[in-house]
Each structure stands twice: as structure tokens, then as C-alpha cells.
Chain A
């Protein structure tokens, strides 16, 4: 078995990391968006345990999310400057796709339907048809501020304030988009749920097999649920505590509870990784409901995690976590990106018991 190794990316972002994503067609291409207003493109050197900065793309404001588009040279970004942008990674050309009236929190791209969805704190989703950039986007009103969004092959899960979770059906959206600009009102959530978690949702990730999704909250907890709206499927959902630490007795004991900042499913095995404010990354087997691994603690909070498309690499973004009462937050000098080359069966679950 190939030994798993972990290495640090050279020239990490200068400030906190907002998102990490691997290219869908190349396991060695990694995009990182940062609060330092840049998006960074890294190339992992196979076998050399290193990853080098290929390019960086400056924005007007901190970048809150990034995703790949239809190919290895297309990326989309969401920024504090209220813009949704398309970036040509080869030429560095930036195109503004749409403008929200508040910061844009997340972008997701559905390669199956060639749809880009952006979610903004102005309580709207913008739906873009990426195959015809000139076509105007559709706007969907949301009942709350979106905080996390993820897409599976057929669904988009949007987690908002007040524990609202809306699940949209991508084929429905696609057909609405095709039928013209006035059809936005025809897009209704496929399902409206209340989060299984009692606290603010922090991250959402969808299962690659389109069966369900996982959410995490600021209160050290992860929930796993299924899309299928049958009593049977809903009975399968569960939540568990994680990313907590026992406080030292001299501080009164009890638990220090960290937010679970990031979730990502393994594209091959369907297991998932969580990254928390405690600086740890854990691998979970959603079927067996077991923790498979917990990696050694990082010095700072884990802000983002991502598996490469072949599941060989796990990228981990580490920077100080924003905690209650912080007024001088800065991720400067403490922001790092780690890449872990996984052993062949490292992320493989044992299956349900």
C-alpha cells in the first residue's frame, strides 16, 4: 500500500481561505479562494509531494467561494463585491456574469445541466446558463440569507439562516431557464426542510450518488439526511457530535465546541470528510456511522476541505477561525493549504454493519 503523505502547498494565500476546489477533470489542479481578494490556482506535482502556484486572479474584494466550470480552464467566483464572475484560468480574463445587491456567498456549478447558481446575502439565487452567457439570469427569492450551498447531480441544497433548508430540483431549474426570463416564479423548492441541527448551518455537502446530503453547524455537529421523502428514508437520517474538546478542569471543565466549517464527500467511496474549528479533519463512514480516521491536529482552524475528483488527494485549508468577539481577525501569515495523498483504502468505508 502506498504510504499516505501530507505536504504543504508552497506560496499559500496571504489571508483566510474561503474555499478549495479540485478540477473535475484533473486531480492535480486546485483552486483556492481567499479573503486576500485573490483566487489561486495550484498544480500538484505527482510523486514529488509538492504543489506549485500556477497563477492567481485578483478581485476587487475578498472572494467567498470558487468553483470549476465545464472544463479545467473555466472557474466561477463569488465575492464580497457582490459580483459573480467567470474566470478563464488560462488567460486570466474575468467576466462579470451578474451583480447581486449584497455580497455573494456561494457559487455551485452543475456540469450535468450547465447551470451556475450563485447565492447571495441579498436573499436571492441567480441562475445562469453557462452555455449562453448572453442569456439573462433568473432570480429566485429565498426566505433567508444563504450560508451554504451544494449540488448533487440532480439537486441543489441551500442552507439559510433560521435553520431553513431548501432543496431545488436541477432538471426543473433547467427547463425553467430554457423557457425564458419570466419563468423564475415557476421555480419552487422541490422540498423545504428545517435543518436537523439546532444551530446555524455552516456547511453542506451532497453525496456523489445523489442519495442525500450532510450538513454541519457552528455547534460541533454533523447531520446526514436523504433526499427521498419517504418515512423510511427520513427515518435513516441522523446527526452526531464532533469537533469538540474537553476543556481543562482548571477552566471549569466541560466541552469546547467548535464549528464544523467544511464537509466534502469522497467521490469514489461515498465517505465524507469534515473540517472543524478545532483544527482537525475527520473521515466518516456515513453508512456504517463510524469515524474512520481523525488526522493530526493543525495549528489553526480547518476552513475548507476538498477531495480531488479521483479521490486521491484531500486538500485542507487551514487558517485561524473566526470566534465570538473577535475584532481584529486576520488570517495573515497563518493561512496554509495542506495536501494529503491518501492511501488506496484510506477513505474506503467498511460498509454498513
Chain B
């Protein structure tokens, strides 16, 4: 990691700052946070007494002023509840904590990117691997889980395909541990796809799925040592990959493989499975090409954007429970059969 500081704290420092659950403001230290909370959120508006918690204030209001506290003052609209006991940083629900961190991180990188764009400086240590690598570290467990799930689905699809092809389950088996532990190993981007010379399989680019699996794989399939791509591919390739990229069959002179016109149901299954697989793969590749930035940038970015939007909308976005500006509720009620009065002639 290159030099830091220069007035811009790094993300760990920002993340370490205590912040207020009720208004999302952050503070230099916990003492300041607590005094902020006492002054802004836990202060009695009748006598000015500063309580330590919302619960404390509620009891105070009840006992001293015979009133009930219905919400925390000055809090964000969705954080006004009295059900959560907050003191300083204690009591903040885990999901809110994560949301906050995510927001901080997103803001941090947005700001950083803006600084870099503004100054024209390259990001520190931006010599290929480091930038993305750093961001990988700060993916939330949820994102990682999601990708793992995607990956598992892909593997499962491959397995199914492999089983249909009745060959080489080994390849699928062999690749899951490798990819499972590290869904995005750097080699994926750097690893050269098999040379066009790969015999027997030129029309099957889906081989893309495999290369990443093999190199980091602890042990290549037996017998594949000399040409690790080749033996494994054709069998699974014919079955799994064929329906996946139909255009190749038509364009390429390669004969349509014998497995292709199988029973329609299986082919359908294959196509469906492969399509899913294809999507996943495409996505993975795209992500890999961009150093995983999109996955990271997109999700939180959208969240933040959405939040901002709804806050802005708030001004105009109001819903009146009774909106007729000419006719009063009583007039409408008077017309209901339940209340209508028919005067005798």
C-alpha cells in the first residue's frame, strides 16, 4: 500500500469513528457521541433534563411530566423507535451497523475516485492487482455469499450437464474446491485461454469455465497432467457446452455433435441450465474484467442513490388521507346510505 494521509483519512479510520444510530452523524470519539445523543435525542423537552437513553427519557416523561414519549426526537424517520435501547454505539442492530459501514465505504470510495479524477493522480498503488484486491477485502459477507451461491449453482449445472454427458464428473468435482475457496482468483483474468490449437474443441469456447478451475486446483485430474485442458473438455464440452452457444454450431464447420439431438426434454433442460450457466459466466467474466468493481460499485451505489432520491422526494411526496379540497368528510358521510336522511314530503 502506498503512502496515505495527506488530509484524507483512510477507510478504516472512518469506519472506526463512533456514529449516532438516530441521525447517522459520526463523531471524533465516543464521549462526544454520547453527549450528542443526550443533547439531541434524549433530552426532555419539558425540563431540559438529559437522559442517557430513550428508555430513560420515556420513564422520566412518564414519572415527572405524566406524558408518554412516542418517538425519539431529531431522529431519522425510520429510527425514531423507542424499542431499541441505544447508548453510544451499544445496541445498534447488526443490520443497521452493516448498512452504515457499507454506506461509509461507498462514500469513501466515491470521494476517493472523485479526488483522483479531480487531481488526475492515479490511485495509490494502482498497478493492476492492488486496487481490486483491496476492494475484494471489503466486500460484505452477504455479497460473498451471494457469489458463492451463484458459483455453486453453476457448478451444479455443470455437474448435471456432465452427468448427462455421462463423462468426466471428475472435472466438475475437481473444480469445486478450487473455485469454492476463491471464487475470483486473479488467474482468471490473467490466465490465457487455451490456445486455438486445442484439438477437437475449437468450436467450444465455453471451455472458459474450466481454465480458472484447473490452475489453482490442487491436483489436475489424473492423466491430464500433460495436457490438462484437453482430455477433460471434450466429453463435458459436447454435452454441456453444445446447446450453450448454438451460433457456433451453425457458423463453425464443426459437425453438430452426436449428443445434440437427444431427447427433447433433456436438451431443454440442458439449454435452460446452460443458459443460466451462461449468464453467470458472462457476469463473472465481466466482473473479472473490471476487477470486480461493478459488483461492488453497483449494489451499494444503487442503495445510496435510492436513499437520496427518497429523501429528496419526501418534500413533495405526501399522501393526504383525506384529499377533497371542496367537499368535507361530513358531507360525504351524509350521503352514505347508512346516514342519509330522507326528509318526509
B319 with A255: CB separation less than 8 A: yes
Q: How big is the A interface, by class?
A: 35 or more
A82 to B343: give the CA distance in the assembly, Å.
Answer: 9
How far in angstroms is the closest Cβ of chain B from A251? Answer: 9
A146 nearest in chain B by CB position: B328
Please indicate the chain B residues that have their CB under 8 angstroms from the CB of A145 in the complex.
Answer: 328, 331
B314 touches A329 (CB 8 A): no
A-B contact pairs, 13 of them (CB 8 A): A3-B66, A18-B330, A35-B333, A62-B341, A249-B77, A253-B313, A253-B317, A255-B317, A258-B321, A277-B322, A295-B67, A322-B332, A343-B66
Task: Give Cα distance in the complex from A65 to B45, angstroms.
Answer: 36
Closest 7 CB pairs of A and B: A254-B317, A246-B77, A61-B341, A322-B329, A255-B318, A253-B310, A296-B68
Say whether B310 contacts A252, CB under 8 Å: yes
B interface SS class = loop
B199 nearest CB across to chain A (Å): 57
What distance in Å separates the Cβ of B48 from its nearest Cβ neighbour in chain A?
12
For the A-B complex with A254-B313, A258-B321, A324-B320 known, give 7 more contacts whose Cβ atoms are closer than 8 Å. Answer: A218-B325, A253-B317, A255-B318, A255-B319, A322-B332, A324-B321, A324-B322
| Nearest CB of B to A295, in Å | 7
CA distance A218 to B78 in the complex (A): 25
Contact B321 A64 (CB under 8 A): no
Check if A322 sits within 8 Å of B343, measured CB to CB: no
The yes or no answer to B94 lying at the interface (CB within 8 A) is: no
Number of interface residues of B (CB under 8 A): 37
Q: Is B302 an interface residue (CB 8 A)?
A: no
Q: Is A193 an interface residue (CB 8 A)?
A: no
Please give, as numbers and ranges, the residues of chain A lying within 8 Å of B322 by CB-CB distance.
Answer: 218, 258-259, 277, 321-324
The minimal Cβ–Cβ distance linking B51 to chain A, given in whole angstroms, is 18
Question: Across the interface, do A103 and B334 meet the contact criterion of CB distance under 8 Å?
Answer: yes
Q: Using Cβ atoms and an 8 Å threshold, which residues of chain B touch A60? A: 341
Determine the residue in chain B with the shortest Cβ distance to A340.
B66
Which listed residue, B68, B314, B329, B338, touches A259 by the CB 8 Å rule?
B329
Q: How far is the CB of A156 from the nearest CB of chain B, in Å?
A: 19
Tell me, in angstroms, the Cα distance from A161 to B326 when the chains sit together: 6
B70 at the interface (CB under 8 A from A): yes
Which parts of A251-298 form the interface with B (CB within 8 Å)?
Answer: 252-259, 277, 280, 292-297
> How many contacts between A and B, using CB within 8 angstroms?
128
* B83 in contact (CB, < 8 A): no
Q: Measured between alpha carbons, how far is A325 from B317 in the docked complex, in Å? A: 19
A4 within 8 A of B: yes
List, in ascending order, chain B residues with CB within 8 A of A105's CB: 330
A290: shortest Cβ distance to chain B, in Å?
8
Query: Whose C-beta in chain B lies nearest to the C-beta of A61?
Result: B341
Residues of A within 8 A of B250 (CB): none
Q: How far is the CB of A80 from chain B (nearest CB, A)?
A: 4
Docked complex: A219-272 residues within 8 A CB-CB of B: 219-220, 244, 246-249, 252-259
Contact status B78-A248, CB under 8 Å = yes
Give the nearest-CB partner of B344 in chain A.
A60
B341 touches A81 (CB 8 A): yes
B324 at the interface (CB under 8 A from A): yes
Q: Does B191 touch A at the CB level, under 8 Å? A: no
Chain B: minimal CB distance from A124 (Å)? 16
Contact across chains for A329 and B323 when beta carbons are under 8 A apart: no
B320 surroundings in chain A (CB, below 8 A) = 218-220, 257-259, 324
Q: Is residue A318 within 8 Å, beta carbon to beta carbon, of the partner chain?
A: no
Specify which chain B residues have a CB less than 8 angstroms from the CB of A4 in the assembled complex: 66
Is A211 an interface residue when CB atoms closer than 8 A count as contact? no
Q: How far is the CA of A61 from the CA of B313 in the complex (A)?
A: 45
